[in-house]
A and B are shown apart, each in its own frame.
Chain A
Amino acid sequence: MYARITARALAITVPAKAVKAAPAIATSAKTFSTSVSSMKADKKERVKVHFPGALDSHFSQVLEIREKMEPIDTFRVMDTDGKVLDPALEPDVTEEFATKIYKDMLTLNVMDLILYEAQRQGRISFYMTNAGEEAYIGSAAALEPEDEIFGQYREAGTLLYRGFTLDQFMNQCYSNDMDLGKGRQMPIHYGSKALHFQTISSPLATQLPQASGAAYAIKRSGKKNCVMCYFGEGAASEGDFHAALNIAATTSAPVIFFCRNNGFAISTPASEQYKGDGIASRGVGYGMHTIRVDGNDLWAVYKATQEARKIAVEKHKPVLIEAMTYRIGHHSTSDDSSAYRSKKEVEDWKRHDNPMVRMRKWLESKGWWDEARENNHKSQQRTAVLKAFAAAEKRPKPKVSEMFNDVYDKLTPNLLEQKKELEEMLKKYPEHYDTSNFTKEN
């Protein structure tokens, strides 16, 4: 699998001119046809149909049964050694900007490692790691801070990039009194109004039509922003995916749908998830600008998102990006991926096409990174994460009364009744209900 993808992707060279204008954006799909010559022959007589449902079609005397469209190419900037393949694609960025991205990728790794272990030790109930997919941070780097983000769940890196602090991550995972979500959500269901990051919703794909709606609101407000919506190739099988893309296209909503195609939906491999040319081919079907990109290539992801953002914000049109990648970690702490893929396969990916390595080598080639800086940042972040972790673990849980707040804007009569009942019970039987770990009521 690895060898095939790499070989094909390496063979592609992107002409510089095309990249500047609109890199690898397929506005119309080229097609395979069994009867190209005969179609050419009657080109002159070709008559457009008058049916309202497909205005660009022509009448033809050739019965065409189509199974495939030409596969959409995968845009890349760097090879697996972090070498830029076409000098015209050399990222025009500052050292500060590039190292910030890489530092966030490293911090994400460090945080994942510690919180994954914390779950294994039973200190938090659930966790999801980002290993193998860290290059999606490039998409966050291409957005403006006020672009709304609707995540699926494996996008902690975008929050990190926007400035969500280690304390905020830890407080959420520990559902303590400082958790912005007041301890009401499972770990990793982050949300931040200040950072324009919509609270994570567990049911798959619900965020997609909602992203179209938030994009509609942005369009109406006249703001020069867009919505970024992340999801996986598995979620793209949900009805909500199709509903969202269709309605985003028909309402011309400024939204970028970013598919992290990491090869697996928990245990289901992409080969069993769908039959067509990935997720990207569907974007064209919905009449949407579509890009397929090497999701392990940070600069390709960055460039693709930059171009997609231009289309969304300037033309008020949705864009679909399919980022091809490979999930190195287990799906979540509830999963053991060795049951459905070999350890060797995972190791091969880690060794041969690692987004961290590719980015690091690129930085080193610029003289912006080295072994010392790598070790220094890692140990610094490890200390910082452990400090935040210990602090969050020690903090009390939110007030018991918070259980009833925010169901509605105000407490309804039945909520007041329940609240009173609970208060009386806690007062009457303190020996049975230990609330010492909760924040005291005022």
Chain B
Amino acid sequence: MSSMLKKAIVVSIPSVRQALARSNPVLANALLAKRSYNSKGGVEMTVRDALNAALEEEMTADEKVFLMGEEVGQYNGAYKVSKGLLDKFGPKRVIDTPITESGFCGLAVGSAFAGLKPVCEFMTWNFAMQAIDQIVNSAAKTHYMSGGNVDCPITFRGPNGAAAGVAAQHSQCFAAWYGSVPGLKVVSPWNSEDAKGLLKAAIRDPNPVVVLENELMYGVSFPMSEAALSKDFVVEIGKAKVEKEGTDVTIVAHSRSVGFALEAAHLLEKEGICSVEVINLRSIRPLDTETIIKSVKKTNRLVTVEGGWPQYGVGSEICAQIMESEAFDHLDAPVVRVTGADVPTPYAQNLETFAFPDTDVIVRVVKRTLHKKIGAN
């Protein structure tokens, strides 16, 4: 990846954020979400600080944990997730690398084979494509191929999914890519509790774990429960969370889309249209089909929401799983996927807005689903 590109992204963040605050409903949406539905607690924390706390706690707890990536040390991370870690843990455990994804990713994988617990930061998951062979062909498969003799306790992390104003090569979701690989675990946090608990679980997990964060969520604050503030707090990988209970329709979402889903649920209930159950997927692989099936059996309707592309996506997999399960017989309407548009992300702001699902789209889709019936013309 060219360093110029990366610099461009880093530099553009503040202005992007300002633009967002003016024009994008993300922040308002998230604030609404936390007010209405999140764990009760007195302390607020940004997703960025939650990730930072997770790293700091796990590095304190286990000498074998170390962080490496481009700009993670001196610069405190391109998105400041690793702020203060170099000062606290020194250059032996917070390692700035040359711009070579396959190089430092391979180095991290090799150090995991040798017994360390690396956290390999990609400045964004877009750049990890340079290193995907190391992730898929080496990290994910070596435990199996070695007959269980070689462990690979590694965490790959970084921002994933569409950002704002950075166009096609920096705005895409890799959940479906990594979610299809046996041997990898894949998590996708939405709020600060997710971020802290899932990252800590990933670092402690003896398997390779892909942590798909979201740049647009880094600066968003959420309340943290008493439990989530503890250094012992972890979120179990492979378990979804029912963020909000409801009776008429189930929305399953992951990452930033959870906020939109919650806002849509809130609006639909305020208008007296329906009661919505919102499931925050949290883990992409293993996929908690049990929680989804249970919910569908109760609500009889299902809408999936994600920022990724439609074809072979997370929503597609959920549809297939529901088709193959007993929940299929409980469906009153066909499952609908709400996804990103099936195009490379455009740069122009108005086009970019069209390319990704938001609250309004979800509200419209849910309304339509309520009026549909299986077998009806």
Contacts and interface: CB of A to CB of B under 8 A. Distances in A.
Interface of A: 148, 150, 179-182, 184-185, 189, 191, 193, 198-199, 201-203, 206, 208-218, 220, 239-240, 242-244, 246-247, 250-251, 253, 405-409, 412-414
Interface stretch (B21-29, B54-62, B90-98): B90-98
Contact of A413 (B182, B206, B286): B286
A413 B150 contact: no
Q: Which of B97, B113, B137, B146 has the most CB of A within 10 A?
A: B146
B108 A213 contact: yes
A261 to B, nearest CB: 22
16 contacts: A148-B114, A199-B145, A199-B146, A209-B105, A210-B109, A212-B110, A213-B110, A213-B118, A214-B114, A243-B102, A243-B103, A244-B106, A246-B103, A250-B98, A408-B185, A413-B290
Contacts of B116: 216-217, 220
Nearest to B183: A407
Interface residues of B, number: 47
B144 A210 contact: no
Given A180-B147, A413-B286, A408 B207 contact: yes
B133 A406 contact: no
B377 interface: no
B149 A239 contact: no
Contacts of A193: 146, 149-150
B134 interface: yes
B272 interface: no
Contacts of B84: none
Given A184-B144, A199-B146, A247-B97, A213 B102 contact: no
B103 A191 contact: no
Given A180-B147, A182-B148, A184-B147, A206 B115 contact: no
A146 B15 CA distance: 53
Contacts of B130: 239
A243 B110 contact: no
A409 B207 CA distance: 7
Query: Sorted from nearest, which 3 A-B pairs have the closest CB atoms?
Result: A209-B106, A213-B110, A243-B103
Contact of B115 (A191, A198, A203, A217): A217
Contacts of B353: none
Contacts of B92: 220
Contacts of A209: 102-107, 109-110, 134
Contact of A240 (B106, B185, B207): B106
B150 A191 contact: yes
Nearest to A219: B92
Given A199-B149, A220-B116, A247 B100 contact: yes
Given A201-B138, A213-B107, A243-B102, A414 B286 contact: yes
- The interface centre, meaning the residue of A202, A209, A211, A246 with most chain B CB atoms within 10 A of its CB, is A209
Contact of A206 (B95, B106, B146): B106
B112 interface: yes
A183 B147 CA distance: 8
Contacts of A180: 146-147, 149
B142 interface: yes
Contacts of A407: 143-144, 182-183
A179 to B, nearest CB: 7
Given A210-B109, A412-B238, A406 B98 contact: no
Contact of A247 (B103, B112, B150, B151): B103
Nearest to A192: B149
B111 interface: yes
A198 B107 contact: no
Given A180-B149, A184-B144, A218 B114 contact: yes
A203 B95 CA distance: 27
A391 to B, nearest CB: 19
Contacts of A409: 143, 151, 206-207
Contacts of B206: 409
A199 B139 CA distance: 12
Given A210-B138, A243-B103, A408 B183 contact: yes
Nearest to B120: A213
Contacts of B150: 191, 193, 198-199
Contact of B102 (A189, A239, A406): A239
Given A201-B138, A220-B92, 17 more contacts: A201-B142, A206-B137, A209-B102, A209-B105, A209-B109, A209-B110, A210-B107, A213-B110, A216-B116, A220-B116, A246-B100, A247-B98, A247-B104, A407-B144, A412-B238, A413-B286, A413-B289
B107 A247 contact: yes
A193 B130 CA distance: 29
Contact of B109 (A213, A405, A414): A213
A44 B106 CA distance: 46
A114 to B, nearest CB: 24
A282 B246 CA distance: 64
A210 B110 contact: yes
A171 to B, nearest CB: 11
Nearest to A250: B98
B133 A206 contact: yes
A295 B113 CA distance: 29
